[in-house]
Structure 1
Amino acid sequence: MPLNIVKLCVGVSEIDELESWVKDCKAGRDTLDHVTRMFPKRRDEILPGGSLYWVLRGMILCRQPIAALEPVTGADGIERCRIVFKPQIIPVRPVPRRAFQGWRYLEDSDSPPDLPRSSRIEGMPEKLRRELAELGLL
């Protein structure tokens, strides 16, 4: 079972916005990535098969499979981690998550399940899914 990462998606409030960002990034770059300050010490547990679970406005709403974790050096000379993603965004069962800085490990057993593609839940507006999750009905 792979280890996952959970991170706040700052400046994005809906999955549609994240999907739009991914589409824009794919158009102009070779890789889809996000650079973060700390490099995961448990890299071998994340790859292959781990995902980054995005927290949007206080809820884990989706995940992106991680393709690679690469060390990079910033313009300031500080070592960082480039998280390279696969382009798909997979909606998951909404789970409340408090704000935190950076990223955290997320064990596979604690990760919210993917929403089934054929379910009525996936077809619901995101706002409704969020409200149902807050009420404990989803």
Structure 2
Amino acid sequence: MASKPCTFCQIIEGAVDAVRVYEDDAVVAFLDHRPVFHGHTLLVPKLHVRLLSDLPAERVPHFFTTAQRLERAVESGLDAHGSMILVNNVVSQSVPHLHLHVIPRRFKDGLRFWLGPRHPYRDAEAEDTAERIRRALAEQLG
């Protein structure tokens, strides 16, 4: 069975329509077709990678510099008070192609980012959690 074509790759190729707001050799930004608020924009690398950690290190600076520019443009162009910047890795990732959301926000817009309960640490859980992350980072750094 053939896998379903990547929607974002199809947008990049021009096979699927999208309202583009920016494009260069490495990235494309377009309006989300199911926006949280008008102006909700997606930034997508043209290289097909699923996760942020899959983006080659030499491409990361350009991706995030473009994200900064896009954030400023969304906020100033739409008179937003701020924005929410979001990347989902696997969980809640509707398209398996790295994409960064820039969502314009306004005070009292009704959106609560933390939709579920918070889970505070008990006893030594914080230190144990931090140590597990430190070990994983040390493994990555060699």
Using the size of structure 1 for normalisation, the TM-score is 0.27
Instruction: Name whichever structure is richer in strand by fraction.
Output: 1
Using the size of structure 2 for normalisation, the TM-score is 0.26
Instruction: Name whichever structure is richer in helix by fraction.
Output: 2
